[in-house]
Amino acid sequence: MSGVQRPQGLVLEGLERRVGSNLVLDGLNLSVAPGECLALLGPSGCGKTTTLRLIAGLDQPSAGRIRLDGDDITRQPPSRREVGMVFQSYALYPHLTVERNLSLGMELRGLPRERIAAQISSVLELLQLEPQRRRRPAELSGGQRQRVALARALVRQPRLFLLDEPMSNLDAQLREDLRAELRLLLCGGPQPVVYVTHDQQEAMGLADRIAVLHQGRLQQIGSPRELYDQPANLFVAGFIGRPRINVLPAEAGCIRAVRPEHLEPLAEGGLPARVLLREWQGASQLLQLETPHGRWRMVCDGRVELAESFGLGWPPARELRFEAGSGRRLH
Amino acid sequence: MRFRRLAVLLVLLWSLLPLLWQLYTSLRTGSALISPQPGLSGWTLDNYRQILSGDPPFWRFLLNSTVVGLASTALTLLLAIPCAYGLQRQPARTRALLSGALLAAAVFPYVLLFLALLELARRFGLANHLLALSLPYAGLTLPLAVLLLGAAFRDLPPELEESALLEGLNTWQRLRWVLLPLIAPASASTGLLVFLFSWNEYPIALTWISRQELLTLPIAIARIAGSSVYTVPYGAFAAATVLGSLPLLALMVIFQKPIVAGLTQGAVK
């Protein structure tokens, strides 16, 4: 036994995927600790689902390595990687009952019957699916199907959880409820969790850390707070935070940007703004403003009464600055 | 609404009248068939009695055809399912090429092959073996069966198999426990097509089988003879046709649901 401690969790080293002449994923490096939930966030086509499929072994990388608890699993067949994956479409077996959906894999691997039954019962209870035990997927609601998919990933006690936009087919209310449930179920267990989503709110709510991908490249990885307060570049600044950040035109090689919630009306002077649209949301209000720099967004307290036109200002310390060409943030 | 009902009635008459006419003919005496005025007399079961008491009795041919049909269907599905699954996993270009070749084979007029097939039968001593007939039958229906089943495999969402793969199921297990149950409707309709082909096939059966007790239905019906060279036994022909159609009717009734499901599968996501 060597004294060197093996790195635990999931490690991606220079992971690359080429399809034809197209570089879908360009040298991705990241690691996910045991029990950590990492969200892969980005617009569609950014490479997040590709990354997940590479980790699962459903696609092969053109270069790079995947390590799980120190083992190199890059060339290991997917059936031996012991990952629990939840697909966007859930991919439940339509001809099998909930119970058989969960047990099929374990049965065919020849696990003892009593152990399978015990594991299934505990997972069904955990996810409150006991009453649906003998139903087929077609007889379940969207939320129940999603929970069955989750249960199927959980029941095998995998070394790694992979979730591909598991909530994109659910309505907003259900999504919010399940977000909390998912966090309690998956995160904090012994396994690393990789969660793919294009919804920044979902990523912020669920993940310990977020990796933002764009055009196959990692833009930034960090806690939700870091991404929000210290975005690495203009893309991350624009992608994280709703409503979207306001951007000023480039000036002497520098682009300045201000978050909508940092804007405030001034008694006099400032950037002239006219209210186009007011969206009252109770605690806060969202204003669409016409300014010399185009349409800006502003968020302020719901009780504030604003004139139709006013001057806009913001504390200089709140302003984010980016290099004009590269979009990198300047410190 | 009334017009639509009328149209349905017309279509039904159009397709069912010949069958009903056969049924009618099979139940009439010879003289009643040719008499100019239709009468209520002249109904008989003699035609059925005649063919069922022939040597060998007619049910023997029904049995022969059933055996050949079942063997051909089983053999075709056994070969076509793995082929279709394999075809589905090919890269798009290879798949298009193979599908084209299969289509060409499927539309080839097989009658042109029967002399060559006869040579083969002679060479390998396959003549006058009932089960040997299912070899050319399976071969001839295989291309279409692979195409139909391939389409059924293609309609399944790929995540289903990927999910099974991640659960550690090997190729055979994925096919057996996940994919096959889902393409069951398509398999049923494909199997029925094969069975129908085998049931109706004439030229190969005619040339491969000469022993009376091994004949399949179409050949046996064609050989029904009248009492003299100058009589055409319409009644006996009709009775044989009716008896030969009954098993198909039964199959259709049994498999109606899965077949319709198979035909419309993939039409609506």
A289: exposed, middle or buried (C-beta count within 10 Å: 0-12, 13-18, 19+)? buried
> What's the pLDDT tens digit per position in B217-247?
999 988 887 666 677 788 888 999 999 998 8
DSSP string over A7-69: PPSEEEEEEEEEETTEEEEEEEEEEE-TT-EEEEE-STTSSHHHHHHHHHTSS--SEEEEEET
Residues A170-180 have a mean pLDDT of 83
Weakest-pLDDT range from A82-86, A287-291, B227-231: B227-231
A131 domain residue, yes or no: yes
Q: What's the pLDDT at A180? A: 82
Domain that holds residue A297: 251-330
CATH of the domain at A259: 2.40.50.140
Are residues A319 and A286 both part of a single domain? yes
A293 domain residue, yes or no: yes
Superfamily of domain B68-211+256-268: MetI-like (1.10.3720.10)
Residue of A nearest to B176 (CA): A108
Cβ–Cβ gap A91/B181 under 8 Å: no
Query: Mean pLDDT of all residues in chain A?
Result: 92
Q: How many domains are there within chain A?
A: 2
Predicted confidence (pLDDT) at residue A96 exceeds the cutoff of 90:
yes
Domain boundary among A234, A263, A295: A234
Are residues A33 and A182 both part of a single domain? yes
Q: What's the pLDDT at A4? A: 59
Domain boundary among A199, A234, A269: A234
The beta strand positions in A131-172, using DSSP E, are 160-164
Strand-pairing partners, residue A330, are A321
Contact in structure between A322 and A279 (CB atoms under 8 Å): no
| B196/A contact by beta carbon, under 8 A | no
Predicted confidence (pLDDT) at residue A314 exceeds the cutoff of 80:
yes
Cβ-Cβ contacts under 8 Å, B166 against chain A: 56-58, 78-79, 81, 83-85
Are residues A292 and A178 both part of a single domain? no
Instruction: Give me the long-range contacts of B178-183 (CB less than 8 A, separation at least 24).
Output: B178/A93, B178/A104, B179/B85, B179/B153, B180/B81, B181/A95, B182/A94, B182/A95, B182/B156, B183/B81, B183/B149, B183/B152, B183/B153, B183/B156
Strand-pairing partners, residue A222, are A210
At B117, the pLDDT band (50, 70, 90 cuts) reads very high
> How many Cβ atoms from other residues are within 10 Å of residue B249's Cβ?
11
- What distance in Å separates the CA atoms of residue A54 and residue B163, rounded to the nearest whole number? 14
Q: What's the pLDDT at B255? A: 82
> How many Cβ atoms from other residues are within 10 Å of residue A26's Cβ?
17
Interface predicted TM-score (ipTM):
0.86
Question: Which of A55, A60, A93, A163 to mutate against chain B (most B CBs within 10 Å)?
Answer: A93
At B146, the pLDDT band (50, 70, 90 cuts) reads very high
Are residues A123 and A230 both part of a single domain? yes
Q: What's the pLDDT at A167? A: 87
A102 domain residue, yes or no: yes
B70: exposed, middle or buried (C-beta count within 10 Å: 0-12, 13-18, 19+)? middle
| A4/B contact by beta carbon, under 8 A | no
Are residues A312 and A204 both part of a single domain? no
**pTM, two decimal places:** 0.83
Tokens of A121: 């019962």
Predicted confidence (pLDDT) at residue B41 exceeds the cutoff of 60:
yes
Cβ-Cβ contacts under 8 Å, B164 against chain A: 93, 104-105
A245 domain residue, yes or no: no
Give the minimum alpha-carbon distance from B89 to chain A in angstroms, rounded to a whole number.
13
> What's the pLDDT tens digit per position in A65-81?
999 999 999 999 999 99
Cβ-Cβ contacts under 8 Å, B163 against chain A: 85, 87, 91, 93, 152
At A28, the pLDDT band (50, 70, 90 cuts) reads very high
> Is A289 in a helix, a strand, or coil?
strand
Predicted confidence (pLDDT) at residue A246 exceeds the cutoff of 80:
yes
> Is A219 in a helix, a strand, or coil?
strand
